[in-house]
């Protein structure tokens, strides 16, 4: 028998016919190792670049040298809190990104700082509200009690710029300077005639007669109630301004009022009217900052250069505040609510738009403050003209819960009206600045009817429906009287709830609350008189009241926790890039083009159009609005 040997089964020697195992190549292992190092290295490099870029954007710490002068240069609008918008990286958000509280604290700190000899007020183009402007001016007046000097220099400016400068010991202008001092006025655009030409007929339902925001669309001019309201506010503002300037400049109020009727002042005419103290180039004014021992010694002056420190540098200077008298176990939270109220989230507002008071974001900040064990009292800093009823009601309900745990105070800034007042009245105490615009307790609803527009172009609209109500407020059909009555009845319970909550919170009857409601806007001073606010004062007053409530004396210090917490603009930019989807980017491009178009217009027109865009945005999601009329009272 013959056996066929299996070549794969040989004992002893290795079978030469057996398939040889493949040798594993090291190429892929080396490649993966290299790629791993490259990826790690890339992220390490990006992190290094990020932190380098971020650190390079941070202002350098500045040592405050002896005989320094703090330059108070504030222009444009001063935000309630330091924004974290991405455009701050490009210098398009006011540059220094300093908050209103930063400026207040800097002035108070400079008053006690032995290395600060005085203040140099260098303003121009201010556009902030009158309440913030007055509180800053009061801080300057308090600074003067230190016997340190205040010099002011005006090249160009208006009422607000001179309002600050009037505090100074001496005011100077260049020979070709000019200031506009012609009082206050409201100029509002009315679109009713334009809409009529287009066949658009706005239907407005308002509660009550003073709630006049929709007059811009339904009338050709101010109605009797809105005119009365605005004239009263303007007269109050004019009187406050005249009294302040007259007191600071040692002039009779009648003389100041007479000069304000003139309008435009050159340097010569301002000097003749005793509004300024001299006409000098700025270099000569800065030379006055030197200590008296150096003023006549040019060589010494060259060695000892002007020690002018900017507001931004001073706010972020490396000098640490003294902890003497600091109460460490009790803190006060300041929760900011600025801008038009909208439902949902909008942390810090949009990257280009005005700030938004978004209900979910605000409630989250409020809850964080309430949950912080060291926080013993909460101050809501409100600067809002109102907005969506759903947002205001959600915030009101949350404040009701929080104040059962900790005292909650409302500090009204420039505007706390309509929805802004809605959330303020939920607090334990309301502190209004005399120049605050508040109240506007009312509801306004508006819907345009386009039936006339269709008729103008020869178009018609036919319908098929299961019931008459299925065509309720169809904008392409003439509104029936029944539709208008139904629309009015929808908003009426909202207004009545608003008034009833005012009555409950302010300890009034419903009819008493209604008499001070009716959509009327009040100044802070008048609001206290009619019982809508508890006391007069600014943010510092609110903080002092909160300190007393938690058992901290006036001389003791407490830490403030700010909400929303300040964020670096670069971090906001990265979040913005990460969160944008294609739809967001398309919307952003449209918005950017719109804002580029608006940039060609003057500030009053641009702010008016921005206000209209905001109302349009709110109307897309909310039928009923709390809205304050556009009030450019500083024009």
Residue 631 has pLDDT above 70, yes or no: no
Please tell me whether residues 296 and 398 are part of one structural domain.
Answer: no
Residue 627 has pLDDT above 90, yes or no: no
Among the ranges 66-70, 411-415, 603-607, which has the highest mean pLDDT value? Answer: 411-415
Q: Are 168 and 193 in contact (CB under 8 A)?
A: no
Residue 386 domain flag? yes
Dig out the tokens for 129 from the structure.
């509200």
User: Which residue, among 335, 376, 377, 375, has the nearest Cα to 359 in the 3D structure?
Assistant: 335
**Residue at a domain's end among 315, 348, 380:** 315
Helices (H) and strands (E) in the chain, counts: 23, 22
Percent above pLDDT 70 for the chain: 73
> Which pLDDT belongs to residue 136?
93
Lowest-confidence region among 90-99, 216-225, 227-236, 348-357: 90-99
> Which pLDDT belongs to residue 22?
54
> Which pLDDT belongs to residue 404?
95
> Which pLDDT belongs to residue 333?
96
CB count within 10 Å of CB 463 equals: 10
Report CA 425 to chain centroid distance, whole Å.
20
Peptide linkage before 283 cis (omega within 30 of 0): no
pTM score, two decimals? 0.79
- The whole-number average pLDDT for the span 351-358 is 69
Q: What confidence category does residue 127 fall into, taking pLDDT thresholds of 50, 70 and 90?
A: confident
Q: How far is CA 268 from CA 51, 271, 272, 602, in A?
A: 53, 5, 6, 28
Residue 564 has pLDDT above 80, yes or no: yes
Residue 90 domain flag? yes
151: which DSSP letter? E
What span, in angstroms and rounded, lies between the C-alpha atoms of 203 and 217? 9
> Which pLDDT belongs to residue 78?
80
Residue 54 domain flag? no
Please tell me whether residues 310 and 364 are part of one structural domain.
Answer: no
Q: Are 538 and 131 in contact (CB under 8 A)?
A: yes
Please tell me whether residues 393 and 294 are part of one structural domain.
Answer: no
Q: What confidence category does residue 623 fall into, taking pLDDT thresholds of 50, 70 and 90?
A: very low
Please tell me whether residues 304 and 397 are part of one structural domain.
Answer: no
Please tell me whether residues 128 and 95 are part of one structural domain.
Answer: yes
Please tell me whether residues 298 and 383 are part of one structural domain.
Answer: no
Q: How far is CA 320 from CA 63, 82, 324, 374, in A?
A: 11, 20, 12, 22
CATH code for the domain of 437: 3.90.226.10
Q: Are 152 and 246 in contact (CB under 8 A)?
A: no
Element (H, E) at 8: none
Cα R_g (the chain), whole angstroms: 32
> Which pLDDT belongs to residue 337?
94
Residue 416 domain flag? yes
Q: What confidence category does residue 63 fall into, taking pLDDT thresholds of 50, 70 and 90?
A: confident
Lowest-confidence region among 38-42, 159-163, 631-635: 631-635
What are residue 152's phi and psi, to 5 degrees?
A: -130, 145
> Which pLDDT belongs to residue 54?
53
User: Which residue, among 436, 385, 406, has the nearest Cα to 331 in the 3D structure?
Assistant: 406
With tokens 């309201």, the residue in question is: 229
What span, in angstroms and rounded, lies between the C-alpha atoms of 600 and 257? 34
> Which pLDDT belongs to residue 612?
56
What span, in angstroms and rounded, lies between the C-alpha atoms of 212 and 573? 39
Please tell me whether residues 373 and 431 are part of one structural domain.
Answer: yes
**Three-state DSSP class for 449?**
strand
Question: For residues 272, 274, 277 and 280, what is the CA-based torsion angle, rounded to 10 degrees?
Answer: -30
What are residue 41's phi and psi, to 5 degrees?
A: -65, -35
Residue 154 has pLDDT above 60, yes or no: yes
What span, in angstroms and rounded, lies between the C-alpha atoms of 370 and 525? 30
- The whole-number average pLDDT for the span 170-184 is 92
Task: Report the mean per-residue pLDDT for the chain.
Answer: 81
Residue 405 has pLDDT above 90, yes or no: yes
> Which pLDDT belongs to residue 556?
87
Residue 524 domain flag? yes
Please tell me whether residues 437 and 310 are part of one structural domain.
Answer: no
**Three-state DSSP class for 461?**
coil
> Which pLDDT belongs to residue 253?
95
Lowest-confidence region among 76-80, 95-99, 117-121: 95-99
With tokens 């009716």, the residue in question is: 518
Q: Are 218 and 196 in contact (CB under 8 A)?
A: no
- The whole-number average pLDDT for the span 427-443 is 95
What span, in angstroms and rounded, lies between the C-alpha atoms of 545 and 541? 6
Residue 149 domain boundaries: 68-182+262-315
Q: What confidence category does residue 111 fall into, taking pLDDT thresholds of 50, 70 and 90?
A: very high
Per residue in 479-505, pLDDT (tens digit) is: 988 888 998 888 899 899 999 999 999
Q: What confidence category does residue 580 fall into, taking pLDDT thresholds of 50, 70 and 90?
A: very low
What span, in angstroms and rounded, lies between the C-alpha atoms of 542 and 81? 16
Residue 263 has pLDDT above 60, yes or no: yes
User: Which residue, among 535, 494, 490, has the nearest Cα to 389 in the 3D structure?
Assistant: 494
- If one compares 51 and 112, the residue with the highest pLDDT of the two is 112
> 400-434 burial string, b = 16+ CB within 10 Å, else e?
eebbeebbbbbbbbbbbbbbbbbbbbbbbbbbbbb
Lowest-confidence region among 5-9, 120-124, 132-136, 538-542: 5-9
Lowest-confidence region among 76-80, 266-270, 567-571, 622-626: 622-626
With tokens 């101010």, the residue in question is: 222
For the chain, the domain total comes to 2
Residue 26 domain flag? no
Residue 426 domain flag? yes
Q: What confidence category does residue 214 fall into, taking pLDDT thresholds of 50, 70 and 90?
A: confident
Please tell me whether residues 299 and 335 are part of one structural domain.
Answer: no
CB count within 10 Å of CB 617 equals: 16
Peptide linkage before 208 cis (omega within 30 of 0): yes
Please tell me whether residues 162 and 297 are part of one structural domain.
Answer: yes
> Which pLDDT belongs to residue 34?
74
Please tell me whether residues 305 and 443 are part of one structural domain.
Answer: no
Region label for 147, one of left (φ > 0), alpha (ψ between -120 and 50) or beta (otherwise): left
Residue 117 domain flag? yes
Q: How far is CA 514 from CA 62, 493, 597, 627, in A?
A: 55, 14, 43, 18
Residue 334 has pLDDT above 90, yes or no: yes
User: Which residue, among 307, 312, 292, 286, has the nearest Cα to 68 in the 3D structure?
Assistant: 307
Those residues whose C-beta lies under 8 Å from the C-beta of residue 628, and which sit 6 or more positions away, are 213, 385, 386, 415, 417, 418, 420, 437, 440, 521
> Which pLDDT belongs to residue 5?
41
Dig out the tokens for 393 from the structure.
């009601």
Q: Crossing angle, helix 27-57 and helix 569-579, to 10 degrees?
A: 130
> Which pLDDT belongs to residue 473?
87
Please tell me whether residues 447 and 548 are part of one structural domain.
Answer: yes
Residue 9 has pLDDT above 80, yes or no: no
């Amino acid at each position: 028998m013959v056996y066929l040997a299996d070549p794969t089964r040989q004992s002893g020697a290795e079978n030469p016919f057996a398939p040889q195992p493949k040798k594993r190549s090291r190429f892929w292992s080396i490649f993966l190792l290299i790629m791993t190092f490259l990826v790690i290295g890339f992220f390490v490099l990006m992190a290094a670049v990020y932190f380098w870029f971020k650190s390079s954007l941070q202002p350098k710490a500045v040592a405050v040298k002896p005989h320094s002068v703090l330059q108070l240069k504030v222009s444009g609008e001063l935000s309630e809190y330091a924004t974290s918008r991405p455009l701050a990286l490009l210098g398009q958000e006011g540059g220094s990104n300093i908050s209103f509280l930063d400026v207040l604290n800097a002035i108070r700190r400079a008053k006690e700082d032995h290395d600060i000899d005085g203040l140099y007020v260098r303003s121009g183009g201010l556009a902030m509200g009158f309440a913030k402007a007055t509180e800053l001016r009061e801080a300057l007046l308090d600074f003067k009690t230190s016997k340190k000097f205040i010099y002011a220099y005006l090249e160009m400016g208006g009422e607000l710029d001179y309002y600050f400068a009037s505090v100074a010991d001496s005011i100077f202008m260049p020979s070709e300077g000019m200031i506009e001092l012609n009082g206050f006025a409201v100029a509002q655009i009315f679109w009713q005639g334009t809409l009529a030409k287009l066949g658009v007929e706005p239907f407005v339902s308002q509660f009550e007669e003073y709630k006049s925001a929709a007059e811009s669309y339904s009338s050709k001019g101010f109605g009797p109630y809105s005119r009365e309201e605005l004239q009263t506010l303007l007269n109050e503002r004019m009187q406050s301004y005249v009294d302040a300037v007259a007191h600071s400049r040692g002039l009779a109020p009648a003389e100041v009022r007479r000069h304000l009727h003139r309008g435009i002042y050159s340097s010569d005419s301002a000097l003749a009217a005793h509004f300024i103290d001299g006409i000098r180039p700025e270099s000569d004014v800065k030379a006055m900052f030197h200590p008296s021992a150096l003023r006549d010694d040019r060589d010494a002056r060259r060695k000892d250069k002007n020690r002018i420190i900017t507001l931004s540098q001073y706010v972020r200077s490396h000098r640490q505040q003294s902890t003497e008298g600091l109460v460490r176990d009790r803190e006060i939270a300041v929760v900011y609510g600025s801008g038009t109220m909208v439902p949902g989230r909008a942390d810090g507002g949009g990257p280009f738009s005005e700030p938004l008071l978004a209900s979910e974001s605000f409630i989250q900040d409020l809850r964080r403050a309430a949950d912080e064990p060291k926080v013993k009292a909460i101050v809501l800093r409100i600067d809002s003209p109102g907005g969506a009823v759903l947002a205001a009601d959600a915030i009101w309900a949350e404040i009701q819960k929080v104040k059962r745990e900790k005292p909650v105070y409302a500090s009204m800034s420039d505007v706390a009206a309509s929805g802004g007042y809605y959330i303020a009245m939920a607090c334990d105490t309301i502190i209004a600045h005399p120049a605050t615009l508040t109240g506007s307790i009312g509801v306004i609803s508006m819907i345009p009817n386009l039936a006339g527009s269709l008729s103008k172009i020869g178009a018609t609209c036919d319908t098929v429906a299961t019931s008459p109500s299925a065509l309720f407020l169809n904008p392409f059909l003439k509104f029936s009287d029944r539709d208008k009555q139904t629309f009015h009845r929808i908003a009426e319970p909202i207004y009545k709830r608003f008034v009833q909550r005012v009555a409950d919170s302010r300890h009034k009857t419903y009819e008493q609350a209604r008499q001070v409601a009716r959509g009327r806007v009040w100044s802070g001073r008048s609001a206290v008189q009619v019982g809508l606010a508890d006391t007069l004062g600014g943010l510092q007053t609110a903080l002092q009241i909160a300190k007393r409530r938690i058992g901290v004396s006036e001389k003791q210090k407490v830490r403030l926790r700010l909400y929303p917490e300040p964020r670096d603009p670069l971090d906001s930019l990265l979040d913005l890039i990460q969160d944008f989807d294609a739809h967001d980017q398309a919307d952003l491009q449209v918005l950017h083009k719109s804002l580029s178009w608006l940039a060609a217009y003057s500030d009053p027109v641009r702010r008016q159009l921005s206000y209209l865009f905001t109302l349009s945005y709110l109307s897309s999601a909310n039928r009923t609005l709390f809205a304050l009329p556009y009030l450019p009272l500083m024009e």
